[in-house]
Structure 1
Amino acid sequence: MTSQPQLSTTPAGPAAPEAGLSATSVLTEPALAPPAGEFGWWQRWSGNPGRKPLLLGLLGNVILVLGGVGAGGVLRRDPVLEGTPFAAWRFGHGYNLAVMVTYFGLALAVWAWVLLGRDVLSRRAGGRAVLSSALLWTVPIVASPPLFSRDPYSYLAYGTLALQGHDPYVDGPNILTGPITDNVHWFWQDTPAPYGPLFVAVAKAVAGVTGENMILGVILMRLAMMVGLVLFIAAIPGLCRHLGGRPAVALWVAVANPVMIVHLIGGPHNDLLVVGFLAMGTLMVLNRRHAGGIALVTAAAAVKATAGLALPFLVLVWAARLRGPELSRIVRAAAAGIAVFVATLAACSALGGVGLGWLVTASAPTNITNWLSLPTGVGQLVHSVVAWAFGPVWDMPYIQAARALAVLIFLYVGVKLWLSARSGGPDAVRKGALLLIVFVLCSPAVLPWYYTWGMALLAAVAWTARGMQAVILVSCFLIVAAFPSGEVSLYAFGYLILVMACAVVAAISLRKPDPLGLRSTPVPR
């Protein structure tokens, strides 16, 4: 879900089924109408997805959840398992077994996704088949503990702070007592909320309902954020119509993707709300509902400020539809957009009962220092070379210098993209999405799910089969950039090399069913 596609600036024409390049924008492709069969309504609704990927993905995610009960971001003290024989699943050899079960389930889920991708490329699966598979795969995840993350405990803590009258942009979870703060990751214990007022309102509402019931709190938080998934799915056909992609491919890239299911839903992470608001808001702007679309994208920024980077490009879409000289059109559209932005942000702040402190605390993730951030990684590499040559030196000056250079690169690329998008239309949306990807590449701190911001829009462009293979590679890396418990895995190099070797085989398998040549007879293509 996280690789840049090969983009075309001209409308995509018909392509061979194997390449999967058609720009058809219907969710159900006529050639894929499901035959009548024993499943009746399910086949008619789902588009008759392939049974093997459907069931394999479901099995994989069930196993993943079972492993996650022991190896995921579990509670420090579990009121359900504690005092029972099943508590051994979280300690010692039981924990090690749970980790292995988790990765086995994840491997099955990724393989099912690759098999589904084959069906998409060969047009055996249309949009509804992909969607029904993805939704079925999601079912076991809904009631799981946090997977590969502990973030929902921080969300509940920030909601509780606001609920108790504290300013979540001043105080950290450590001023609370009880199970909520006990389960927040140590790194974020004294960190004020880096999220916008709309998300504070959501977290406050969830905390108000669930109190200190952590299990119910995680599940309800996940369900609240799945509103973003609904909006995203609803926006995909329209975005494909404007941006030139196929809904089946877009759904495979962004919804059926294990990054979506494991990280955004399994995490769960509030980036899911960002993705939904951003995609639907962009579609509304493309459909000439400019003010409403900009309001929705502003709502995305009121969850995570980075989504606001798309707004200048949406202003260009609006400006291109006005009359008059170019500068006049841009100024008028920008003025109207700013008015909508301010009004929406004021409404979100009133709903959350907070001020503008989040504009300062939004930089809190920069405290993270690891090489998933490219500038941070470059700084660490240069520091390692200097330390090897000249002896021990402090690493931060090198990291800060690389981060500063990355900021300059981002600003340069951003200005170039914006100026080249002044004609508006779908091209401005594509370039806005690319800027979101560039932002993550240049960011001083990166978490795996940040790439989903730009992919919310890039999923709907025309993808080549090679681009889809790149999605598999990058997605596999992003999934395992953390261990199931949520701790970073980026310095376990042997582990990463092994995983990426498997990812290469999976990517090749998208187009070549027997990549290792293990079968004695040729496989029909």
Structure 2
Amino acid sequence: MITRRGVWFAGVAGAGAASILLTIIISLLGPSAMVPPLPGRPWQPPFSLGVMPDGRLVIAMAAAAVVLGAVALAVGLRHAERMPDARWLLLTGCLVAVVLAFLPPSGSADHLNYAAYGRMVTLGHNPYVTVPADLPADPVIGGVEEWRNTPSVYGPVATAVQALASLIGGDSVRLTVFVMELANAAAFVATALLLHRFTRHDPVRRRRAALLWTVNPLLVYHLAAGMHLDTLAIAFVIAALVVGRGRGVLLGLGIAVKVTVGLVALGPAWELRRSPRKLALVAGSATLTVLAAYLLAGPDSLDQVRNASQSLSLATPWKLVQHAAQSLIGPGAYRVWIQLASYALLAALAFLLIRAFRRDGELDAPRVALALGVAWLFATPYVLPWYDGLAFALLAMVVCPALDGFLVVRLAVLSLGYLPARQMDQPDGLGWLVTVVRSQVVPWCLLALTIGLAWWAWRAGARGRTRPA
């Protein structure tokens, strides 16, 4: 006899499975508006059917994947105790990540940039100075789509991984990307295993951690299928929080992939504040690791980091502020003022979130790191959907159901706003996805979410609504 609970569970599981299956099919179909072509020998991985699907079809499939995935995730988190055993969730998510490693990346063309920067290193060029447009005839570098005039903005460890992939892939974009996909899948799986270990004493928390990371359809869409370097940076900093040994080196490696994950380091710093010797050891080893990486890469490796810190993305609420200032005061980018205001907002949100977490007792490293990570995501003027992966990984270590809702809605909205993040080969008549959805609807939605987050944190700080990790 089919019970109401069985129907409910089947519906949630079906929506999540359908979302992940749609993500897999988009990549499997091959080059499209969602999947950039990968030049190389056809027998080389990653593989696809090469059917060249219609752009409107794959974008609609991606939108369905996002909506179904967000609904399944939200309901699953609300009833985590009813979900299957965490070991099955872990196995399923890891298998999905491995399968996607053998299919072309989807959603954006960032992986073409990664391949190009790695190729520059193997050819003896400095990717922090050279731009793809300088080497248009190269079979790998010439494949870059949007970032043709931009040097690398990634850290030295990321560049080292890209260079290793280029050494193996040679002049094949396809094989170079595949090597990077294997590294990305390894990082995704490693993070899943670390979170599984961290929550080992509580079966419900284990299910929750798997839902937030391993079988999270939105993260599968962005990090496993999209193959963004954020996955590697997240793996290092989560390892630093879970493993303990070599914490400073792991934090340093994460920062040397992507500087912004350095906020996580303030979590261990807070936790060790009463142990000056241990704090000095962790801080010193992290600093030395970062310095060594950037010294090897050269001083130019920091130039684009400074430039990127003043950038504004279309879907951020700060674009609304910029437009308002231009209307009221006059022409200008106002980037310095927006940057300063974003720092103030980051500090305010971090304070409110930390106060909310502290109501239940002593703060630990994951809570502080989560507060700072979430505050940064909601405050930064430049944000893309896959940046949210860091917050979901940290949230898997801290029980806070209210934040679940904010982050799921935020990532779903951002994901719909970047359908797709790739600019080339887009169908005619869909320009409104950028001019209306990404530029107007999403910023207002994120502004409302930011106000809601601040209101909740303020009230939670007064009433103590969060539970201990």
TM-score computed with the length of structure 1 as normaliser = 0.69
CA distance in 2, matches of 1:254, 1:275: 11
Equivalent of residue 126 in structure 2, options 145, 164, 167: 167
Partner of 2:378: 441
| Cα distance change on mapping 1:106 and 1:407 into 2, 3 Å | closer
Q: Deviations over 1:339-368 (max 9, x none)?
A: 212432355457xx5224323321343464
SS of aligned partner of 2:399: coil
Offset, 1:214? 1.5
- The corresponding residue for 1:211 is 170
d(CA) in 1 for partners of 2:439, 2:321: 21
Q: Does residue 123 of structure 1 match 2:82?
A: yes
Closer, same or farther in 2 for the Cα pair 1:212/1:426, shift >3 Å?
farther
Maintained 8 Å contact 2:131/2:151: yes
Distance 1:224 1:61 in 2: 19
Which of 365, 370, 384 is the matching residue for 2:308?
365
Given the alignment of the two structures, is residue 492 of structure 1 paired with residue 446 of structure 2, yes or no? Answer: no
Displacement of 1:105 in angstroms is 5.1
Relative contact order (C-alpha < 8 Å, sep 6+): which is higher?
A: 1
Summarize deviations over 1:263-316 as a string: whole Å, max 9, x none. 11211100001111111101123xxx3xx1121111100100112222233123
Query: How far off is 1:129 after superposition?
Result: 2.8
What does residue 429 of structure 1 align with? 366
What is the match of residue 480 of structure 1?
416
Contact 1:110 1:258 in 2 (8 A): yes
> 2:32 maps to which residue?
70
C-alpha distance in 1 between matches for 2:139 and 2:421: 18
Q: Secondary structure at the match of 2:127?
A: coil
8 Å contact 1:313–1:432 — kept in the other structure?
yes
Aligned in 2, Cα 1:199/1:128: closer, same or farther, shift over 3 Å?
same
| Alignment correspondent of 1:256 | 215
C-alpha distance 313-140 of structure 1, shift in aligned 2 (>3 A): closer
Cα RMSD of the aligned pairs, angstroms, is: 3.9
Matched with 2:183 is 224
Contact 2:128 2:300 in 1 (8 A): yes
Deviations 1:70-118 (A, max 9, x none): 222412868759xxxx97826xxx3334433444455555566567557
Query: Matched residues in 1 for 2:408 and 2:391: separation?
Result: 16
Cα distance in 2, alignment partners of residues 231 and 250 from structure 1: 13
State yes or no: 1:305 paired with 2:259: yes
Q: How far, CA to CA, are the matches of 1:370 and 1:55 in structure 2? A: 31
Which residue pairs with 1:25 in the alignment? none
1:66–1:102 Cα contact (<8 Å) kept: no
The separation in 2 between residues aligned to 1:275 and 1:468, in whole angstroms, is: 18
1:380-459 matches, cutoff 5 A:
380-384=323-327, 386=328, 393-397=330-334, 399-411=335-347, 426-459=363-396
CA contact (8 A) 1:141 1:265 kept: yes
* Offset of residue 146 of structure 1: 2.6
Question: Equivalent residue for 1:59?
Answer: 21
Amino acid at match of 2:370: A
The CA distance in 1 between the partners of 2:302 and 2:438, in whole Å, is 39
Where does residue 293 of structure 1 map in the other structure? Answer: 247
CA contact (8 A) 2:232 2:254 kept: yes
Q: Contact 1:370–1:376 (CA<8 Å) still a contact in 2?
A: yes
TM-score, normalised via structure 2 length: 0.76
Work out the CA distance in 2 between the residues paired with 1:132 and 1:50.
18
Matched residue, 2:232:
273
Contact 1:249 1:463 in 2 (8 A): no
Cα gap change, 1:426/1:234 in structure 2, threshold over 3 Å: closer, same or farther?
farther
CA distance in structure 2 between the partners assigned to 1:62 and 1:133 by the alignment: 14
Q: Which moved more, 1:217-226 or 1:265-274?
A: 217-226
Cα distance in 2, alignment partners of residues 122 and 346 from structure 1? 45
SS state of the match for residue 248, structure 1?
helix
1:26 equivalent in structure 2: none
Worse-matched range after superposition: 159-168 or 404-413: 404-413
Confirm or deny that 1:314 pairs with 2:277: no
Deviation at 1:193, TM superposition (A): 1.4
Does the 8 A contact of 2:255 with 2:262 survive in 1? yes
Check the 8 A contact 2:377/2:383 in 1, yes or no.
yes
> What's the secondary structure of 1:491's corresponding residue?
helix
How far the C-alpha of 1:223 sits from its partner, in A, is 1.2
Q: Using the TM superposition, give the Cα deviation of residue 238 of structure 1 relative to its aligned residue in structure 2, in angstroms.
A: 4.2
Whether contact under 8 Å (1:72, 1:486) holds in the other structure is yes
Measure, in 1, the Cα distance between the counterparts of 2:289 and 2:325: 44
Q: Structure 1 110/215 Cα, relative in aligned 2: closer, same or farther at 3 Å? A: farther
Paired letter, 2:390: W
1:338 aligns with 2:275: no
- Rounded to whole Å, the distance in 2 between the matches of 1:103 and 1:67 is 16
Q: Is the 8 A contact 2:263 2:372 kept in 1?
A: yes
Q: Is the 8 A contact 2:70 2:218 kept in 1?
A: no
Secondary structure of the residue aligned to 2:179 is helix
- Cα drift, residue 337 of structure 1: 2.7
**Alpha-carbon separation, structure 1, partners of 2:59 and 2:395:** 33
Q: 2:319 aligns with which of 357, 371, 376?
A: 376
Question: Residue in 1 aligned with 2:55?
Answer: 95
Could you say if the C-alpha distance between residues 56 and 375 of structure 1 is closer, same or farther in structure 2, counting changes exceeding 3 Å?
closer
Which residue number corresponds to residue 6 of structure 1?
none
Return closer, same or farther for 1:416/1:339 CA change in 2, 3 Å cut-off: farther
Label 1:223 to 1:264 Cα distance change in 2 as closer, same or farther (>3 A). Answer: same
Shift of 1:154: 0.8
Which has the higher Rg, Structure 1 or Structure 2?
1
- Cα distance 1:497–1:258, how it changes in 2: closer, same or farther (>3 A)? farther
Q: Deviations over 1:175-215 (max 9, x none)?
A: 223232333233x2222211111111100000111122122
* Structure 2 spans left out of the alignment, 5+ residues: 44-48, 424-430, 446-469
